[in-house]
Amino acid sequence: MNIGVSLTSREEIEVHRFSWMVSLGVPALALLIQSYLPLKMAFLKIFDLPLLVAIFFAVARRRPVPGMITGGLIGTVQDALAGQKIGLFGISKTIIGYLASSLGVKVDVDNPGSRFLMTLAFYIIHHIVYMVVNLGLVGASAPWEWGHTLLRALANALLSVVLFALLDKFKLRT
């Protein structure tokens, strides 16, 4: 696999825009698929499509504030659907949105290899933040399953390569 992470100047980075339909429709579709498909195939729960979508939009827009707001909103909706305390995924995805858009400013993230590594790292960070908030604020006693988390991170990273390539087609170049 060709892994390329190149440092570029801010001027060289292309900032992408999306139509409002894509901006609303893709996260909504991701949430819908995430909620519906595990009903038919339970193993699909290992994927976190909303997280991948949040990362994609944050990286493509390369603007931290919209990135974190997109992540925060997606996470909040996910919390509401999951029936857990609202804010668990909201906080996690807000941070991921911020980090992803900040990274997108500095690093070329259009390369499949960099996308794979980036998603892998963000998934693990997302899980750590989620667990910290869950243990620290909510007081839950969920065990840390590192093996399973790593497996899920790999699966999501692989999916992100395909998904991001698909979502690239919705970019409006400026």
d(CA 51, CA 125): 11
Q: State in angstroms the smallest separation of the CB of 126 from another protein.
A: 12
Q: Which residue from 65, 132, 162, 166 is in contact with another protein, where contact means CB under 8 A?
A: 65
Three-state SS at 172: strand
Task: Residue 118: name the closest of 164, 75, 149 by CA.
Answer: 164
d(CA 97, CA 44): 23
Is residue 54 within 8 A of residue 96, CB to CB? The reply is yes
Given the rule CB under 8 A, which of 8-16, 53-61, 135-143, 165-173 is the region that contacts another protein? 135-143
Q: Which residue from 22, 81, 121, 125 is in contact with another protein, where contact means CB under 8 A?
A: 81
- Is 3 one of the binding residues for another protein (CB under 8 A)? no
Q: Which residue from 22, 85, 128, 161 is in contact with another protein, where contact means CB under 8 A?
A: 85
CA distances to 41, 80, 107, 111 from 75, rounded to whole Å, are: 22, 9, 25, 26
Q: State in angstroms the smallest separation of the CB of 130 from another protein.
A: 8
Residues that bind another protein (CB under 8 A): 28, 31-32, 34-36, 38-40, 42, 45-46, 48, 64-65, 68-69, 72, 76-78, 80-91, 94-95, 98, 102, 130, 133, 137-139, 142-143, 145
